[in-house]
Amino acid sequence: MNKVVSNAEEAIRDIQDGMTLMLGGFGLCGIPENCIAALVKKGTKDLTCISNNAGVDDFGIGLMLQQKQVKKMISSYVGENAEFERQLLSGELEVELIPQGTLAERCRAGGAGIPAFYTPAGFGTEVAEGKEIRYFNGKPYLLEHWLKADFAIVKAWKGDATGNLIYKGTARNFNPMMATAGKITIAEVEELYPAGALDPNEIHTPGIFVQRIFQGNNYEKRIEQRTFLSE
């Protein structure tokens, strides 16, 4: 199978209205910038987006929110996006907020074929409403279900023609789990190498999970919040 495609437009060509997407990254680190831009250009709508956050107003998933392409957000942190807040409060956007560790584990479970698991996170809060609760060793746990997607869209530092991926730093938070949980996984990489060029001991996502890969360009690598310390 030839997994290498020429660009983001070709990679997302068959993403249709109403599909569920996983979009990797942590904050603005390690997000699939090129694929998001291609989705905005294509105008695909009524999407359910599973992501650590919703970007900011003029970057990341925030660009898709501006174009009203997102029907539902499944996220753990959404505090940097005024348009997200406006759509949530007006009832335009359906939102499911999940504790960050639970979100990561639900994605990992989807990739591992584990339909459900118990976690203590969220007990006694709104997160627990409507969920089964069981006690283990005297401690309450919530039943949480896997998350899977029609497409998982991830961003890596290095990749090869067979889809093997290496992430860098914080980009390793959600991308590896999401890469395993899509029916089709698209990877955009900063550096694309021929098959066999990467050290097998450094691979984070084996190529068997990736169906399409391309070398991205013009990465902005935004900083979500810049803090200066006075002397």
With 0.85 as the threshold, say if the pTM is over it: yes
Domains and CATH numbers, the chain: 8-114+147-215 (3.40.1080.10)
Cβ–Cβ < 8 Å for 48, 19? yes
Residue with tokens 């499944």: 74
> What is the DSSP annotation of the chain?
---B-SSHHHHTTT--TT-EEEE--BTTBT--HHHHHHHHHHT--SEEEE-SB--BTTBTHHHHHHTT-EEEEEESB-TT-HHHHHHHHHTSSEEEE--HHHHHHHHHHHHHT--EEEE-TTTTSGGGTT--EEEETTEEEEEEE---EEEEEEEEEEEETT--EE--GGGGTTHHHHHTSEEEEEEEEEEEE-TT-S-GGG-SB-GGG-SEEEE--------S-------
Cβ–Cβ < 8 Å for 160, 197? yes
| pLDDT at residue 58, as a whole number | 87
pLDDT mean by block of 10 residues, the chain; 231 residues: 93 98 92 96 97 89 95 89 90 94 97 97 94 97 98 98 96 95 98 96 97 94 72 60
| pLDDT at residue 231, as a whole number | 60
